[in-house]
Amino acid sequence: MSLRFLVIEGNVEGPRERHRDTYGKTYAESYGSVLQRIEKDAVYDIALPADEGANIPDAAGLEGYDGIFLTGSALNAYHATPEILRQVELMRAAFKSHTPVFGSCWGLQMGAMASGGDVQANPLGREVGIARHIVKTDAGQTHPLLLGRPASWDAPAIHLDLITTLPDDITVLAKNNLTPVQAAEIRQDGGVFWGVQYHPEFSLVELSVILDRYKPTLLAEGFLRSEEEHAAYVQELRAMGEDPNRFDLAWKHGINAEILQEDRRLTEIRNFITHYVKPTKSARGRA
């Protein structure tokens, strides 16, 4: 039987349609296509809880899915606007449904907010492009989410905010020098959430499209010094995404196989499906 997923889009209409205009898919549509590359027979629905009046499933509705995925978002959780609070409530319902949940970036932050944690801007600044030198904590050494990751790895990332107050029942699985919670498991109301602060779902092509839109921010915050540097960086990221054998560019930018090879980049999402979604589906009598 095919796996049935729900992908929860974290963005309001403007940012998600800009992504469709520049990349060809919204964030949720792109995430869904990644899931179908991992599980070819999988089907997925999309929820848009940031939209006023959106049809948002309750815990009973969420229980019908085999796995739930939360995308990234351009929102900031600490602004606590209605479009954010609706997503926190949906995450609380997801915990109560006991359906396996995975979140990237914003998704991890929603998992924390829904279980008593807090999210604020990182005083060390933005982590953008590539999150470098992520390492496992002691708990992460044996956790199935990170099986196959080496002692240190890099991953696509775009975030200013991060978890600043830990929920009561959180296990931090990975960190780096800029972000103390790069991966975690959170338990709440009988439900279990796995998430990462980075974006394993982003290909270098998709990342290049996003960073192209981030030009004003990258220049204003000093990540790149000129429009020419920015254009070259974006172009070279895209070139590596289109041809993973561009070892000249990989060497130049310090990008290795953990990002260049899709099967390795998607490690956490594949592990979530293999070690959490499928066993849970079987235990529920749906195998």
Q: Which sign, positive or negative, has the C-alpha torsion 172, 174, 179, 185?
A: negative
pTM: 0.97
| Interval 36-49: pLDDT, tens | 999 999 999 999 99
- In terms of Cβ atoms closer than 10 Å to its own Cβ (0-12, 13-18, 19+), residue 264 is middle
- Nearest Cα neighbor of 37 from 253, 203, 254 is 203
| Interval 115-150: pLDDT, tens | 999 999 999 999 999 999 999 999 999 999 999 999
Average pLDDT over residues 47-74: 95
Residue 1 reports pLDDT greater than 80 = no
**94 and 197 inside one domain:** yes
**152 and 225 inside one domain:** no
| 240-248 contact pairs (CB < 8 A, 24+) | 240/204, 241/203, 241/204, 241/205, 241/206, 241/207, 241/208, 242/205
Average pLDDT over residues 153-175: 98
- The span from the CA of 149 to the CA of 264, in Å, is 8
Residue 9, CA distances (Å) to 23, 73, 130 in order: 16, 8, 22
**193 and 209 inside one domain:** no
Residue 287 reports pLDDT greater than 70 = no
**137 and 154 inside one domain:** yes
Q: Which sign, positive or negative, has the C-alpha torsion 62, 63, 66, 69?
A: positive
**In the beta sheet, which residues pair with residue 67?**
5
Mean of the per-residue pLDDT values for the chain? 97
Residue 285 reports pLDDT greater than 90 = no
**140 and 226 inside one domain:** no
**31 and 170 inside one domain:** yes
**163 and 239 inside one domain:** no
Q: Which sign, positive or negative, has the C-alpha torsion 136, 142, 147, 148?
A: positive
If one counts the domains in the chain, the total is: 2
**190 and 90 inside one domain:** yes
**123 and 24 inside one domain:** yes
**188 and 221 inside one domain:** no
Beta carbons of 191 and 101 less than 8 angstroms apart? yes
CATH of the domain at 40: 3.40.50.880
**22 and 161 inside one domain:** yes
Average pLDDT over residues 180-200: 98
- Cα 228 from chain centroid (whole Å): 29
**192 and 208 inside one domain:** no
- The span from the CA of 179 to the CA of 175, in Å, is 6
Structural domain containing residue 219? 204-257
CB atoms within 10 A of CB 190: 9
